[in-house]
Amino acid sequence: MRVSKFVTIGIVAAAISCGGSNSSPTGTVNDPPPPTGGVNITVQNFSFSPAVDTIKVGTTVQWVNNGPSEHSSTSDTGLWNSQGLTPPSGGGAYGGATAGATFQFTFNQAGTFTYHCMFHPPSAYPSFVGTIVVTN
């Protein structure tokens, strides 16, 4: 039964991908892998996911635009700014073939770091914000 075997593999793969706290959420099949020892945050549908990510000092975070619009990861305090991250060709999770633009930043200090999208500011998109909690 070839078809049911593929279904079983798909379910197992989905279960594995949901196991880690920092694994990519569903709908991000086109995301590139996270940096070694790092984590991915998906930018899509006017949200960052996970919206709150707790990491250790020295961890690299990679933001990936997987939605149809251009977005950014912009620190509220100016610590980092990805500038514009182009969307995937063909719409990313909506059927595109290639991943959208990415941006990496390594957190070398403990603390709580909030950020937003420079094109869709919290004044207009209050839930489109993210927080990185960096612990020793």
Q: Does 85 bind Cu ion (CB under 5 A)?
A: no
Q: Does 71 bind Cu ion (CB under 5 A)?
A: yes
Query: Cβ contacts of residue 28 below 8 Å, gap of 6+?
Result: 40, 42, 44, 64, 66, 93
CB-nearer residue toward Cu ion: 35 or 84: 84
* Residue 8 · residue 14 · CB < 8 Å: no
> Of residues 79, 81, 119, 129, which one binds Cu ion by CB under 5 A?
119
Please name every residue paired with 55 in a beta bridge, in sequence order, or none if there are none. 134
- Contacts (CB under 5 A) with Cu ion, residues 11-70: none
Span interacting with Cu ion, options 26-34, 78-86, 91-99, 116-124, rule CB under 5 A = 116-124
Residues lying near Cu ion in the complex (CB under 5 A) are found at: 71, 117, 119-120
